[in-house]
Structure 1
C-alpha cells in the first residue's frame, strides 16, 4: 500500500504539503492540491483517516452529508434519516457540503475519523479520490438522492419521469403549448434525469421542445430568477415555466412578481419538489412531490444492511404530481 511519502514524491512536493492537503489547509494552492489528489488516485493511496478507521468497534453513529442545508428538500431528507436512525438506536452526525467537493471531502474525512459506522452522502458532481477510496475499502456507504456513474454504490433516489410526463400532459390539457424548463446542472444526476424526462414527455405529448426555452441553473434561487428574466424577455416568452427544484422556483416567483406579472394569467409556474409553503402562496403552486422523508428512512435501512455485512440493492421511489392552481389558463 502506498505511503504518504510515496504520494509526496510522485507529486513533487513535501510530505508536509501532502499533509496540509489532507487536512484542508487553505494555504495550499489549487494547482498543488490537484497534483496531490492526482498522485493519490494514481497510487491508490488510502488517506490515514480512512486507514485508521478500518476497525471493528461500533460507535452507533451514522454520518450524513447533504448538498445544501438551506434547501428545504435536504432539511426534510435529514429529518427522515434522523427519525429512522434514532428508531434503530443510532445517532446521526450531519455535514453540509454546500455543493462543493472540497467541503464534502472535509466532512467525509472528519466523519471517518470519528469512526461512524456508515456514511450517507448526497454526492457533489465531482468524484474525489477520497470518495473513491471509501468505495474501494468497502466502508458501509449509501448515496442519497443522487448517483455517480462508474461507482458501484447502493443508492436511494426518486424517479420523477412518470410525474413529469403527467405534468406535461396536464399542461397540454389546459391548452398550454409554449413550455420552458429551468433545469438543474447537467453535472448532477438529478439535473440530467429531469431534463431527459422533460424532453421525452414533450415528445410524447407532441409538443415542440424549443431550444430557447431550455436553461440549466444550479438548484438555487439566483439562477432561477436569472433564467426567468431571460425567458420573459424573449420575443415570444413561454406560457409556462417548469422549475427543476423548489429554490429555483422561489427565484422565479421573485422575478415574476418584481415585474408585476400575474400567475397564471401572464405566466404559469410548476416546480419539481413540493414544499409546505407552496400551498400558502397565491395561487398555490403545482409541483412534483418526491417521497423525501421516505427516501431518508429507506437509505438508513439500506445502510444498516451494509453495517451488518449484508449487501443491499439500490432503491428507486416514485414521485407524484400534485396539481394546484398555478397552471390554469386565463378564463379556465
Structure 2
C-alpha cells in the first residue's frame, strides 16, 4: 500500500501538504491540491477515513519557531507570544531551530502535522522554499524580528538603523576613528541590515570601517569570541567594536578579558539587542534595545487576526533605542 510519504515524493511536496489536502482543511491552493490528488490517484493512495475526520476542526494551538532559544531576546519574545495566546484561549508549541534551516523545516513540518492554527516564525535564513510553500497554501504565518523577502506574510520587527546611526555618532563623538563590527550572517536579513547600517553610518561620518575590521559570526557566543580574537590580533586593532547581537557580544567581551585588556579603557564595546544582564556586568554594556515584549505580543495578535478573521494584517515596524552605559569611553591609545 502507498503511504503519505510516497504521495509527497511523487508530487514533489511535503508530507504536511499531502496531509492538508487529504484532510480538506482549505489551506491549500487549488493548483497544489490538484497536483497532490493526481499523485495520490496514480499511486492508488487513500487516507484513513477516521484520521481524516479527526482533522476537521481547529486545535486552538499556535506554533512558534525561533532561531535560537538560548538568545534572551527570543526567550522574551516567546513569553510575550505565549501570554497573548493564553489570553485568547490558545496554547503555544515552541520549536528551536538553533540557526539551522534544516532543523527549522523539521519543526515546521511537525507543527503542521499537529495541525496548529497558525505559525509565528523567526527564519534562520533569508530563503526558505518550504516556508514559501506553506504560505502559498494559505497557512496563517507571521514573521517576527527576521523575515524572508518575497514571501507574502506580514512581519513584526524593530528597525534599528536609526539607533545604529546614533551609536556611530556617539562613538565618533568620543573620539573613535578605528571602528570594527562583528556582524551576523549576511544571508539573514537582520544580520545584513545591522552590518549595512553600521558601515553606512560610519562612512557618512567620515570614519569608514576598513574591510579587515569587519568580521562575520553566526549570532552565537562562540563566533563572537572568535571574531574578537581576530580583531585583537590585527596590527592596528580597533578602538571600538559594535557586535550585532547579545550572545556574540558576550563571547567578544570574554575574549577581551582573556587577552588581559579592559573595557572601555583599552577597547570600547557596544551590542545590538539589550538584555537585563547587560546592566549587571562590569562595566555595564551599551546596547541597542528592541521592544521585545511588544514585538511578541503584536505578532500573536496579528496571527490570531488571520486565524479568526481570515484577514491579512499589515506589517508592523517599531523603533529600537540606544541605551548608553559604561562600556564605551574615549580611545585608550
TM-score, length of structure 2 as denominator length: 0.85
Of the candidates 25, 35, 39, which is equivalent to residue 54 of structure 1?
25
Q: Does 1:19 align with 2:5?
A: yes
Check conservation: 1:40, 1:129, Cα contact below 8 A.
no
Correspondence for 2:327: 326
Correspondence for 1:83: 83
Deviation at 1:129, TM superposition (A): 3.8
CA distance in 2, matches of 1:50, 1:70: 32
5+ long unaligned stretches in structure 2 = 27-55
CA distance in 2, matches of 1:205, 1:330: 17
Cα gap change, 1:320/1:20 in structure 2, threshold over 3 Å: closer, same or farther?
Answer: farther
TM-score, length of structure 1 as denominator length: 0.85
Where 2:12 maps in the other structure, the secondary structure is helix
CA distance in 1, matches of 2:228, 2:7: 40
Cα gap change, 1:19/1:296 in structure 2, threshold over 3 Å: closer, same or farther?
Answer: same
CA distance in 1, matches of 2:66, 2:7: 22
CA RMSD for the aligned pairs? Answer: 2.3
CA distance in 1, matches of 2:6, 2:296: 34
CA distance in 2, matches of 1:220, 1:156: 23
Where 1:270 maps in the other structure, the secondary structure is strand
Deviation at 1:195, TM superposition (A): 1.0
CA distance in 2, matches of 1:50, 1:315: 29
5+ long unaligned stretches in structure 1 = 6-14, 23-35
CA distance in 2, matches of 1:62, 1:283: 40
CA distance in 1, matches of 2:141, 2:162: 28
Deviations 1:238-260 (A, max 9, x none): 00011000010011011111111
Equivalent residues in 2 for 1:62-101, closer than 5 Å: 62-101=62-101
How many matched pairs?
301
Check conservation: 2:174, 2:330, Cα contact below 8 A.
yes
CA distance in 1, matches of 2:187, 2:72: 21
Deviation at 1:78, TM superposition (A): 0.4
Correspondence for 2:313: 312
